[in-house]
A and B are shown apart, each in its own frame.
Chain A
């Protein structure tokens, strides 16, 4: 279990890869237990109808069981070394995810607003470039294609590098 630095003490960490729908309201309630933290930042990503293709109606997500969870733990450990964090919750769907449904939820609790914002964004940028998930888009015309990695995502991850 990673430890947060500074005044934060032990970090409450929850990482889950699941086929079931994400219960975002329940996740917010879990984070609320760390209300004394002072600050929470969350990100939720959804399936949208335009991706690499037009008229996307669903995606399927494949992942590398074992390595996925290990990669997410490493990312949170790195975040906890950079910012004083009280709690981190990461949930990610795999399998079939319909248009409009949530794909990923990242929630961070910290004593400080800047730390919460930064850690949440850092975790998402690293997740998108390091965690072994792969998206395939399904379109209304019945076609399907694997999504290509975006250069912008690598750039976003790179700007967190310590010089």
Chain B
């Protein structure tokens, strides 16, 4: 399963990464599981598990941890929005 992952604002700065394409293990089937799996990279990536204010989107719609992932999905992680 190929996924396009995007990171925005303070997150992309802290991770040193704004986008990547990954092929996670087969047991990663939900957005929440993906978040924990990415946090398992350690170092700054742990903030994905630790920051409880983080928002997630799947295919450009805000999504919850139990959202199921499909091949080709675009997933985004970002802090609370501050526009306007």
Instruction: Tell me which residues from 45 to 84 in chain B have a Cβ below 8 Å from any Cβ of chain A.
Output: 53, 57, 60-62, 76, 78-84
Question: Which residues does chain A contribute within 8 Å of B82, judged by CB atoms?
Answer: 128, 133-135, 146-150
Shortest Cβ gap from B59 to chain A (Å): 9
What is the chain A residue whose CB lies nearest that of B18?
A: A62
- How many chain-B residues does the 8 Å CB contact rule pick out? 18
Q: Does A70 contact B (CB under 8 A)?
A: yes
Instruction: Count how many pairs of residues, one from A and one from B, have CB atoms less than 8 Å apart in the complex.
Output: 72
- How many A residues touch B, CB cutoff 8 Å? 27
A134, B76: Cβ atoms under 8 Å? no
Q: Is the CB of B84 within 8 A of A67?
A: no
For the complex, is A61 an interface residue (Cβ under 8 Å from B)? yes
Is the CB–CB distance between A127 and B83 below 8 Å?
Answer: yes
Main secondary structure on A side of the interface with B: mixed
14 additional A-B pairs beyond A103-B83, A104-B84, beta carbons within 8 Å, are A64-B78, A70-B60, A104-B83, A127-B83, A127-B84, A131-B83, A132-B83, A133-B82, A134-B82, A135-B82, A146-B13, A146-B79, A148-B80, A148-B82
Query: Which A residues lie at the B interface, using CB under 8 A?
Result: 45, 61-64, 66-67, 70, 92, 103-104, 124, 127-136, 146-150
Top 5 nearest A-B pairs (CB, nearest first) are A133-B83, A149-B80, A134-B9, A67-B60, A128-B84
